[in-house]
Structure 1
Amino acid sequence: MAISFIRVDDRMIHGQTCTRWALEYPCDGLVAVNDLAATNPTLKAAYKNASGKKTFVWTYDEWKEKSGKVLTSKDNYFLITKEPLLMAKILVEDKFVPGIKEVVIGPCNDRDGAVKLGNNQSVTQAEAEALEKITQTGYNVEFALVKDEAIGNWKKFREKFGFK
């Protein structure tokens, strides 16, 4: 398996991702998909230096071009996006099949128009629609900053956004 863990995290790559989650889901490297980070040399360097692992910071277009190589790699990678909308685009619209069916939602900062679900886990209506699409495609969506402090599955929260 080339994708060992899928995460949405507004900080993308940081200590928890690289140490704590790597204990639960072993990986050889990280692939972060975010146009802003991938096109900003300072941000890209910061993310690449944060992990201590082989790290790729790609634009969405680079991801589309290289995702097949990730799937066929002998190495295991985390797939990370900053927001649920891009993850839905990858998993649902592009029909990318990572070989696993679990998506973990990490930190999503409190913002105007967002509904607070837990500590540092807030979701906008547009993000909720993306999470619903991901779930309807057969993925289990779990909210967890760290594994042993998960606050629940998307099914627990979906009614707050009008989904029955």
Structure 2
Amino acid sequence: MITYYRVDERVIHGQTLNVITRQVPCDGILVVDDEIAGDPDFCTIFKGMTNYKVLIFTLDVAMRKLSEAEQSQKKYFVIFKRPTTLAEMIRRGYSIKLPSIMIGPQSYRADTTSFFPTMCLTPDEIKAMDEIAATGTKIMMQSILNQVPISWQDVKNGKKPKQKASLD
């Protein structure tokens, strides 16, 4: 079964491995990204970062493999590097099986709009976020652990995330 969806340009990193895996049940991590899946060096790096089983799929393969993961008794995180990949899966018929997804850091790039520090999206990514939200999936955004997660709708309306009093 899928227990967590995340979009994060860092893909697998300390926040995922040390914090989120303690909060949400996880037996393995499924990464969906054509660039990473096509680069053996990236695959080796991401698979070597953790003791969790890591499987890395192209978007085409993920269309089949995520359905298999949903039927499994094992608990999987699904991580996308960019929201455009998830939106493309939805356009092809994939349905998110949880009520919400988390968007982690998306860094500044030449054509991005900065919504708050480390949350910068291109016009195509903004469109993708709207497409994901249109499915009824709640999109929550949190670029660092000491931020209170904030909804995409609130971010679009100009709100900024609040800081947590502690990391507990």
Change (3 A) 1:104 1:66: same
| Alignment partners' CA distance in 2, 1:149 and 1:26 | 22
| Alignment partners' CA distance in 1, 2:97 and 2:146 | 23
- C-alpha deviation, 1:159, in angstroms: 4.4
Q: Could you list the per-position Cα deviations for residues 56-97 of structure 1 after superposition, in whole angstroms to 9, with x for gaps in the alignment? A: 01111221232221111111111111101011122x213323
- Aligned residues: CA RMSD: 1.6
Q: Are 1:9 and 2:8 an aligned pair?
A: yes
Contact kept in structure 2, 1:3 and 1:77, CA below 8 Å: yes
Structure with larger RCO (C-alpha < 8 A, sep 6+): 1
1:27 matched to which residue of 2? 26
Name whichever of 115-124 and 99-108 sits farther off: 115-124
2:126 matched to which residue of 1? 128
| Secondary structure in structure 1 of the residue aligned to 2:11 | coil
Change (3 A) 1:122 1:150: farther
Contact kept in structure 2, 1:8 and 1:106, CA below 8 Å: yes
1:116 matched to which residue of 2? 114
| Secondary structure in structure 2 of the residue aligned to 1:141 | strand
Q: Alignment partner for residue 150 of structure 2, among 149, 152, 161?
A: 152
Taking structure 1 as the reference length, the TM-score comes to 0.89
The equivalences for 1:14-163 within 5 A come to 14-90=13-89, 92-146=90-144, 148-159=146-157
Q: Could you list the per-position Cα deviations for residues 102-136 of structure 1 after superposition, in whole angstroms to 9, with x for gaps in the alignment? A: 11110101111211122211112211111111111
Q: Could you list the per-position Cα deviations for residues 9-57 of structure 1 after superposition, in whole angstroms to 9, with x for gaps in the alignment? A: 0111111112211122111110001111111111001011112201101
| Secondary structure in structure 1 of the residue aligned to 2:78 | strand
Contact kept in structure 2, 1:118 and 1:151, CA below 8 Å: no
| Alignment partners' CA distance in 1, 2:156 and 2:147 | 19
Change (3 A) 1:53 1:143: same
| Alignment partners' CA distance in 2, 1:131 and 1:147 | 21
Structure 1 residue runs of 5 or longer lacking an equivalent are none
How many positions carry a matched residue from both structures? Answer: 158
Once superposed, which parts of structure 1, at least 4 consecutive aligned residues long, lie more than 2 Å away?
94-99, 145-148, 157-160
| Alignment partners' CA distance in 2, 1:97 and 1:85 | 15
| Alignment partners' CA distance in 2, 1:25 and 1:13 | 15
Match of 2:103, as an amino acid? I
- The structure where helix makes up a greater share of residues is 1
| Secondary structure in structure 1 of the residue aligned to 2:74 | coil
